[in-house]
A and B are shown apart, each in its own frame.
Chain A
Amino acid sequence: MAYSEKAKSFYDNTLKNIKQDGLFKEERYIESPQAANIKVEFPLGAPQKQVLNFCANNYLGLSSHPDVVKAAHDGLDARGYGMSSVRFICGTQDIHHELEEKLTKFLGTEDTILFPSCMEANAAIFEVMLDKEDAMISDRLVHASIVDGMRLSKAQLFNYKHNNMAHLEEKLQETQNCRFRLIITDGVFSMDGDMAKLDEICNLAEKYDAMVMVDDSHASGFIGKTGRGTHEHFNVMGRIDAITTTLGKALGGATGGCVSGRKGIVDLCRQRARPYLFSNTVPPVVVAASIKVIDLISNTTERRDKLERNTKYFREKMIKAGLDIKEGDTPIVPVMLYNAKLAQDVARDMYAEGIYVIGFFFPVVAQGQARIRTQISADHEFEHIDRAVAAFTKVGAKYNILGKKKDEIIAMYGM
């Protein structure tokens, strides 16, 4: 038997160690559409529980929006379920091209190419853009998919301290001899909810003749006054060379991603990007629904504006209640607990109170930076937010962390 005792015990022990380290992840079964209010079976076999969802990337509340669902149904009827092909053989329909054009217009770029996910867009872009005589200069807190994508490129890797422009400038000076330099950053950082200083990054890029790539997965659709993304927020539209983003978060939440930017980069992706060449096309049903999403958010900023109001309301209430949240303007609001066990305990108690949130700790975030990452949605009403804040207040009082800052929480619970 090829699956030997040696292999079996290796996998079993690895799993045992993950459990012992408290890092074992369990899935929770949601038995309703994605929304602010969901039905969850957790733990497995437990009775169904109605909870408020504060951990989805459903920023604009479009995941189950009736117009989006209808567009998906219509797309399914008109263009079928699957394409059984990669894009360049027989997997490109007219609607794929239409969505790419709409994304280009929405993001304010020159051209766009779809990928099955943003993870795959990030797996593709660095290998396409750069070679061994080039340098990738990346913020240290970029998303894991960017880290994996950079590993696939032969270019030399440099990274700078998170959002530290002086350190970035040092790296740009260190790499003057490289053929091309690409500054790489998230637009909104997924764990901290802060934004890259894109205006300063673009200034440095121009000063040192470097290109800029931004992953705007946690921004597209709602950051900036018309929701174009962090480049709109910082008024640097047209100065970003490549944007990667996802259709799997605010933009409908199903799947799919893209590279959008300079025409030459997008054209070369169509020729060379391995995840584009060797992975199936985005399903027609997702494409049809995504077209509707772009139409909806291009016509009105209503949902984006509501998200902004909700975010402000939640942040103010949480600060008033005495929770230690990371400052910022985005709907990613980390509630800092510093200690991994405390983060897990608080998340468990919040669930008992009917609020679905998740604790994050090392290695997902740095040691001693454990937190609960809450995410606000345009689907939330103020009443939902009031209930979440009330639950945080009750659970926070139980653990005596209200009004306490980092040092005091660490003094009580350790790092």
Chain B
Amino acid sequence: MSEDIKKMIIDYVKKEYLEEDSGVDVNENTKLISSGIVDSFSMVSLKMFLEKKFLVKIPDDKATPDAFDSANNIINLLKEYTKI
């Protein structure tokens, strides 16, 4: 199950934030925020995507750059709010 979620997050990041010719590979450990793939401004749309997809409300104070910095971190964050 968590493999499916991982893939869903990675696919979303690739589609939403990367240009087709970017040549950047994304896996579950790839740094998303600190590497600049997802800038702090675009983190809002990533948070919205997760909330819509998993029907959760992530409190703003928990939506930190660190908590969003990789697909694995995001899964850990989601586990606090939903049974995934």
Contact = CB atoms under 8 A, between A and B. Distances in A.
Nearest to A161: B19
Interface in B1-46: 16-17, 19, 35-36, 39, 41-42, 44-45
B45 A159 contact: yes
B42 A159 contact: yes
Contacts of A363: 36, 39
Contacts of B41: 140, 147, 159
Nearest to A363: B36
Interface residues of A, number: 13
A157 B44 contact: yes
A169 to B, nearest CB: 14
A106 interface: no
A354 to B, nearest CB: 33
A156 B48 CA distance: 10
Nearest to A144: B41
A368 to B, nearest CB: 8
B14 to A, nearest CB: 12
A158 interface: yes
A122 to B, nearest CB: 14
Contacts of A156: 48
A362 B36 contact: yes
B63 to A, nearest CB: 13
A268 interface: no
A140 B42 contact: yes
A366 interface: yes
A363 B37 CA distance: 11
A157 B45 contact: yes
A156 B39 CA distance: 17
A251 B42 CA distance: 32
A36 B7 CA distance: 53
Interface string A279-315: 0000000000000000000000000000000000000
Q: A158, A161, A164, A368 — which one has the most chain B CB atoms within 10 A of its CB?
A: A161
23 contacts: A140-B39, A140-B41, A140-B42, A147-B41, A156-B48, A157-B44, A157-B45, A158-B45, A159-B41, A159-B42, A159-B45, A161-B16, A161-B17, A161-B19, A164-B19, A362-B36, A363-B36, A363-B39, A366-B36, A366-B39, A367-B35, A367-B36, A368-B36
Interface of A: 140, 147, 156-159, 161, 164, 362-363, 366-368
Interface of B: 16-17, 19, 35-36, 39, 41-42, 44-45, 48
